Amino acid sequence: MTTTALDSVPNRAQSEASSGQKRVLLLKPRGFCAGVVRAIDIVKIALETFGAPIYVRREIVHNRYVVNELAEKGAIFVHEIDDVPDGQRVIYSAHGVSPAVRERSKGRGLRVIDATCPLVTKVHIEAVKFAKQGYSLVLIGHRDHDEIEGTLGEAPDVTQVVSNVAEVAALQVPDPNRVAYLTQTTLSLDEARDIIHALKEKFPNIAGPHSQDICYATENRQVAVRNVAHNADLVLVVGSTNSSNSNRLVEVSRNLGTIGYLIDNSQAIDPKWLTGVSTVAVTAGASAPEVLVEDVVNYLRQNGYSDVEEVEVMPENVRFGLPPEIVQAIGGPGGAEAVPVR
């Protein structure tokens, strides 16, 4: 059963909860975004076209299930370019890489296939543009994330990373009137808003991207949780612990006062979490496959949550084309055209 009328959910949830009926609200959109689908397809097509082994720098997307599945097909995941034998074929992950990594690959004679998400590439381009125009850059994000590492590498001498509002106060720049900010694509909307507000107070003339850097999929999944969390006793987010956007979904739920947990699969569910819980909302981060969501829903069904209702908050139909290295290899027209996003 699917509903797009969110206003109709609360009354039904309350009435059914009071009658003891256990139910699942299955959020939509959830799971794979266009960038993740593209990245996984790139690895699969490369394996089918060129044969194993295919090397991949870092996790192609931040999901252990996906990585293991591709490894079984012949993908070899390495931490750094130096771990790839000279002259071999290597795929850059969806999170992007720094110019230094690209130069290192070139020097080693590696045959590169770039699976960087186009929305991450957008942020890289913005970083280069602002740096060339003489701006000091403030990159909002998590220092240990692969995406931040890659973006920071575009203009490391003029870029500072901030992860919270408190760090904004310590920022020092040569010219307070020539400052620009960019953000990681998978941040919490609320967190980013607060940091940007603090930056604007400290640097009133600060510049920013023409459109927000937080990607459509990250925003849509957070909006879905925000719209439904108050109708649930518990929110379960399917995703790996190193997935930034998945962790943000849990934060959104908890900030709204609804208990939320990040789980890899149904085996990670503690039965104690379900004690006294009538309504469970289930969603998935942008790098989590639907098979894991189905696994969780089946587990809940087996534990008495027989009423499963899909709640669609907004439609999502973004697609990205394949990179030229893949298009040339398979002799195709390039797949889907990229759909403009906000």
Residue 124 CB coordination number (10 Å):
21
**Residues noted as catalytic:** 147
Taking the C-alpha atoms of residue 121 and residue 106, their distance in angstroms, rounded to an integer, is 19
Pick from 171, 173, 172, 155: nearest CA to 163: 171
The answer to whether the CB of 325 falls within 8 A of the CB of 42 is no
- Taken as a whole, the chain contains a residue count of 342
